[in-house]
Structure 1
Amino acid sequence: MKNYNWATLGCGVIANELAAALKSRGQKLYSVANRTHEKAVAFAEKYGIEKVYNDIDELFKDENVDIIYISTPHNTHIKYLRKALAAGKHVLCEKSITLNSDELDEAISLAEKNHVVLAEAMTIFHMPIYKALLEKVNSGDLGELRLIQMNFGSYKEYNMNNRFFNRNLAGGAMLDIGVYALSFVRMFMSSCPNDVLSQVKYAETGVDEQASILLKNKEEEMATVILSLHAKQPKRGTISFDKGYVEIFEYPRGMEAKITYTADGHCETISAGHTKDALLYEVEDMEKAIEGDKALMHLDYTKDVMKIMTDIRKSWGMKYPEEE
């Protein structure tokens, strides 16, 4: 496999994890760009990165860059996706990949036109535990899927200027944490939910602070999702089949699942992968996708989840400034 040159656009927590993931396999980021140049310089010094761009647009023009990891705020993604994809760069973009389905459709069209891989950095699609669970599900041992229950609640202080509650930074529970729960649901459901109901509680800024979502698909598999940015909940997923149910905690980067069988109540534990290697699994799958196995990145699931989120926000009448 080719040794790909990775660049990071953004210097936050995820960019640090990306640098650490590459280091774990004896590789460094090729270059770094950031909206604040001084932060890019400090980041480069920390990780021994040789190339820092004075202007972000220089990143897209650099012919030596193969893959760009975008980890800037949600509402800036489409602006950078347009430039990166048009320049023929493969892109792994932090979730939520765009604000809405129209933006995602535009990005997908650009990726197809320029023959590059576009993917959302959704850890759930790449953690080994889910690949192991899907093998178990597909074996038929658990029978048919009936219900999925998802929880994700964070406790964020009521600072309406931070990114979680700031409408100008595309804040809100849906795009920040709901995308995880809905990606989990979509991965295990046989088809995309086509019957969706929801409720919302708004923060002072007009973004969704809390939400409850009910979903059903044509196979009549059902799911519930409960989200909050101001009430702590366990990051718990429960998948119920007619022959047993699966429980997994800390599911965005899960590494262990417990199966309880209906017939006799006996339990089985499946372990695979490590939470600390979440970014490494994404990097490895992205490179395999560039080599030809694009299905590894599950852009089809990303598209379905984005449609669900877009439709829900439309039903609420909730828009971001970029959508007005």
Structure 2
Amino acid sequence: MSTYKRVEGQVRIAFLGCGAIAGKHAKRLKGFAGVELYFASRAESKARKYADQYKGKGFFSSYTAAIQSPDVSVVFICTPPDSHLALSMEAMTAGKHVICEKPSFFHSTDFDIIDKLRQEKGVQLLVAENYFYKPALKKLREVLAMNLIGDIRFLFFNATKSQQVSDWRADGGIAGGALFEGGIHWINYISNLGLTVQSVTGFLASNTGKPERSMQVVAKYAEGPVGTLLYSWEVNALFRGLRNSRIFGSKGSIKFESNGLYIFVRGEKWRLIFPGIRDIGGTKGMLADFVNALRTGEDAAFNLQMARHDIELIEQAYQTSGILLTHNCR
């Protein structure tokens, strides 16, 4: 367990970047007691607009101005992935805590830099991986721990959808490929079921373009099972995202809607579980945990070592599929 400088009094969070994801987080955080919001953009008008819309306490016309402001205790990085490392380093060097949107950094070795700054400055860096906090994932862990379907043999995760990208996500140098930019959610998911991912192998679908838009990842678990993840932005899913995944055991199986709408257990006991849709994506639970970690100075449930492990698995999937993950430095 690590201990950091606690945020005393109001948790004053400045968003770096005023895009859709910043808006989604701000909408939730504005309802948290003891949290004040600020907004920074390279376009001052946009920062002012977000401050008005989300009841912010102030705005900044540059990221550096927000980082250097004595009014700010935490920066929330919501810019494209290629800027995450430099902004995190700048903020931590200035003594600010950091919440960084996923995917965090392009290389697992980047965490060495972050860990050094974390120890020197006593500040936290939290990676905003909401899938770790999904109610469905928690329920699946509980069900698997009960051994209702016997020894687990195979796991199949369907994370296919149709997603057209024309912004920075279409530029591999800025966002990496689909598996890195969006599939990292599912790499995290398959790693936190109570089983230990020993290794992964990536397989690239043909004619998927550059950067890649579809990938199959096969995971070998230390406990014996084999898992298969299908991640794609090129597959037409029912209702734009309704999909089913399965877990097969020696005494039964578990079928679950990939987003988390339901879990059906067929084994020694049959159960139909509805994890709940109020926080189906896990974002509210994640933000509550992060705010608590900032106030107590203790690690969040999803810690930096877990975030690094996700990137290591992404690296392994790309390397075994023959893809070189490159990026532009901003």
Instruction: Please indicate the TM-score interval, normalised by the length of the shorter structure.
Output: 0.7 to 0.9
1:200 and 1:110 mapped to 2: Cα distance? 39
5+ unaligned residues in a row in structure 2: which ranges? Answer: 1-7
Deviation of 1:259 after TM superposition, in Å, equals 2.9
In structure 2, the residue matched to 1:60 is 67
Q: Which has the higher contact order (CA 8 A, sep 6+)?
A: 2
- Of the three residues 248, 270, 275, the one matched with 2:256 is 248
Q: 1:124 to 1:277 in 2, by over 3 A?
A: closer
Q: Is the 8 A contact 1:92 1:119 kept in 2?
A: yes
| C-alpha distance in 2 between matches for 1:289 and 1:143 | 37
Q: Which residue of 1 aligns with 2:291?
A: 287
Deviates more, 1:291-300 or 1:31-40: 291-300
| 1-structure distance, mates of 2:181, 2:58 | 30
Instruction: Give me the whole-angstrom Cα distance separating, in 1, the residues matched to 2:258 and 2:208.
Output: 25
Match runs of 1:75-86 below 5 Å: 75-86=82-93
1:132-281 alignment runs, 5 A limit:
132-157=139-164, 161-201=166-206, 203-204=208-209, 206-233=210-237, 234-251=242-259, 254=260, 256-263=261-268, 266-272=270-276, 274-275=278-279, 278-281=282-285
Please point out which of 277, 281, 306 is paired with 1:301: 306
Higher deviation after alignment, 109-118 or 41-50: 109-118
What amino acid does structure 1 have at the position aligned with 2:266? Y
In the alignment, is the contact (CA less than 8 A) between 2:137 and 2:193 conserved in 1? no
Return the offset for 1:26: 5.1
Alignment of 1:32-111 (within 5 A): 32-111=39-118
Q: Secondary structure of 1:198's partner?
A: strand
| Cα deviation code 1:157-187 (max 9, x no counterpart) | 4x6x533321232242111221111111000
Q: Percent identity?
A: 20
Q: RMSD of aligned C-alpha atoms?
A: 2.7
More helix by share: 1
Deviation at 1:32, TM superposition (A): 0.8
- Partner in structure 2 of residue 19 of structure 1: 26
Cα distance, 1:21 vs structure 2: 0.7
| Count of aligned pairs between the two proteins | 316
Query: Which string of whole-angstrom CA distances, capped at 9 and with x for unpartnered residues, describes residues 56-82 of structure 1?
Result: 111221233222221111111111111
Change (3 A) 1:92 1:250: farther
Question: In structure 2, how many angstroms separate the alpha carbons of the residues matched to 1:267 and 1:41?
Answer: 50
Deviations 1:256-296 (A, max 9, x none): 432322247x3321424613774321111112223154151
- Preserved contact between residue 151 and residue 181 of structure 1 (Cα < 8 Å): no
- Residues of 2 paired with 1:72 and 1:219: CA distance? 38
Q: What letter corresponds to residue 254 of structure 2 in structure 1?
A: V
Q: 1:322 aligns with which of 291, 312, 328?
A: 328
1:96 partner SS: coil
Alpha-carbon spacing, 1:195–1:203, altered in 2? closer, same or farther (3 Å): closer
In the superposition, the TM-score normalised over structure 1's length comes to 0.86
* Structure 1 alignment gaps of length 5 or more: none
1:126·1:278 contact (CA, 8 Å) conserved in 2?
A: yes
Distance in 2 between residues matched to 1:114 and 1:235, nearest whole Å: 44
